[in-house]
């Protein structure tokens, strides 16, 4: 194939013809030597045969390509002004050679062969990796995570959602706080008493709700009713106190599979002014009044089996806050096994937000 290629092109570059012949012999010799070597190696190492063929193909491709490069270079070296046109021609011929029915110096057969080989190569690679992956994942149960120390200690989240945790609103302008109300309402839909009563069980407070049995058994969940939140439930005051300048903010602890607060010492929530005058917040009401997450909501068994699990909430009702000024508030979780002073993570065991209530 290459031989023909050369002799056909030779008249175009007569000045380099002699070279070409010299080179060719050399190349052929090398080529023969390689084939011998290859044969030896085949006997010696026993490699998958398709890889072998593939390599041969590649080598051929490479040689032909280099020929092309050389041609191009020589084209460039020609003093005639037509070099660009000639280059283009060569390029074109390289891309699609109608005479030999070759594209990129390969025949259709060669191309399909190489594609098939690569297909098999990658397919077998994918198969092996999939197998590995499958075996690995057999060691990782779908119900319980293997490790939990990265997600412990629990983080904290508050509702309603506020951009960069700044609660800015004007009591007299409902537009400024309406979205908080909508957000809270939406969030509390899952806590509706009717829904909770229908789905979940009422379990005894003050103790873990431990459900033994197989990992894959469905677990029951304890009720957390919206009504537990009293004034912040939105049932009595549909504006969650925003219309009176006494906003409710709900605090939720991040779920962690298997997390258990200290027995008899539930996790408590306490809020205070983060920086500045402590008297900026004169009173906060917590609902449930214990300001704690009851032990019955723990442990969490993971979402596969603990489908209806309802995260317990603590609502903070800021009933008397200084108006018309930004008040930074920090709410912390307190309890054993709770960390609330990680420097880099401002959401582990605490949350900081600002209240700026205008009248």
Distance CA 34, CA 50 (A): 17
Distance CA 80, CA 87 (A): 12
- Nearest approach in angstroms of CB 238 to another protein is 26
Distance CA 281, CA 152 (A): 31
- Nearest approach in angstroms of CB 80 to another protein is 14
- Nearest approach in angstroms of CB 48 to another protein is 8
**Beta carbons of 294 and 207 less than 8 angstroms apart:** no
Distance CA 284, CA 318 (A): 5
- Nearest approach in angstroms of CB 257 to another protein is 5
The residue (of 1 and 174) whose beta carbon lies closer to another protein is: 1
- How many CB atoms lie under 10 A from the CB of residue 107? 14
Q: What's the token pair of residue 183?
A: 């957000």
Nearest to 224 by CA among 185, 253, 193: 193
The residue (of 144 and 203) whose beta carbon lies closer to another protein is: 144
Q: How far apart are the first and last CA of the chain?
A: 89
The residue (of 146 and 359) whose beta carbon lies closer to another protein is: 146
The residue (of 35 and 277) whose beta carbon lies closer to another protein is: 35
Q: Which chain residues interact with another protein by CB under 8 A? A: 23, 26, 34, 37-38, 41, 44-45, 47-48, 51-52, 55-56, 58-59, 61-62, 65-66, 70, 73, 76-77, 121-122, 125-126, 128-129, 132-133, 136-137, 139-140, 142-151, 154-157, 163-164, 252, 254-257, 300, 302-304, 306, 309, 342, 344-348
Nearest to 105 by CA among 95, 120, 91, 115: 95
- Nearest approach in angstroms of CB 302 to another protein is 4
- Nearest approach in angstroms of CB 259 to another protein is 9
Nearest to 252 by CA among 191, 210, 193, 179: 191
The residue (of 300 and 318) whose beta carbon lies closer to another protein is: 300
The residue (of 76 and 82) whose beta carbon lies closer to another protein is: 76
């Amino acid at each position: 194939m290459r031989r023909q290629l050369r002799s056909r092109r030779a008249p175009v570059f007569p000045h380099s013809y002699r070279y070409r012949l010299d080179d060719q012999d050399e190349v052929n010799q090398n080529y023969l030597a390689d084939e011998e070597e290859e044969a030896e190696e085949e006997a010696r190492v026993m490699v998958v045969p398709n890889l072998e063929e593939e390599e041969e193909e590649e080598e051929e491709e490479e040689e032909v390509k280099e020929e092309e490069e050389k041609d191009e270079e020589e084209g460039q070296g020609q003093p005639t002004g037509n070099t660009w046109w000639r280059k283009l021609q060569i390029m074109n011929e390289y891309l699609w050679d109608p005479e030999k029915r070759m594209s990129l110096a390969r025949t259709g057969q060669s191309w399909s062969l190489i594609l098939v080989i690569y297909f098999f190569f990658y397919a077998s690679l994918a198969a092996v990796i999939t197998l590995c992956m499958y075996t690995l994942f057999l060691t990782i149960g779908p119900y319980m995570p293997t490790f939990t120390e990265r997600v412990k200690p629990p983080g904290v989240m508050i509702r309603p959602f506020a951009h960069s945790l700044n609660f800015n609103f004007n009591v007299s302008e409902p537009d400024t706080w309406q979205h908080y109300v909508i957000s809270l309402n939406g969030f509390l839909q899952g806590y509706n008493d009717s829904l909770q009563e229908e789905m979940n069980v009422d379990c005894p407070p003050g103790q873990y709700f431990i459900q033994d049995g197989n990992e894959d058994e469905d677990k029951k969940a304890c009720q957390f009713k919206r009504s537990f939140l009293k004034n912040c439930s939105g049932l009595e005051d549909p504006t969650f106190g925003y219309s009176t300048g006494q906003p409710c903010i709900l605090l939720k602890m991040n779920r962690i599979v298997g997390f258990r607060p200290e027995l008899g010492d539930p996790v408590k929530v306490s809020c205070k002014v983060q920086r500045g005058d402590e008297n900026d917040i004169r009173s906060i009401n917590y609902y449930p009044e214990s300001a704690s997450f009851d032990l019955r909501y723990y442990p969490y068994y993971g979402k596969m089996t603990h489908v209806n699990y309802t995260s317990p909430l603590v609502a903070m009702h800021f009933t008397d806050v200084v108006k018309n000024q930004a008040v930074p508030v920090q709410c912390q979780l307190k309890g054993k096994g709770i960390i609330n002073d990680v420097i880099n993570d401002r959401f582990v065991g605490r949350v900081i937000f600002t209240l700026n209530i205008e009248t």
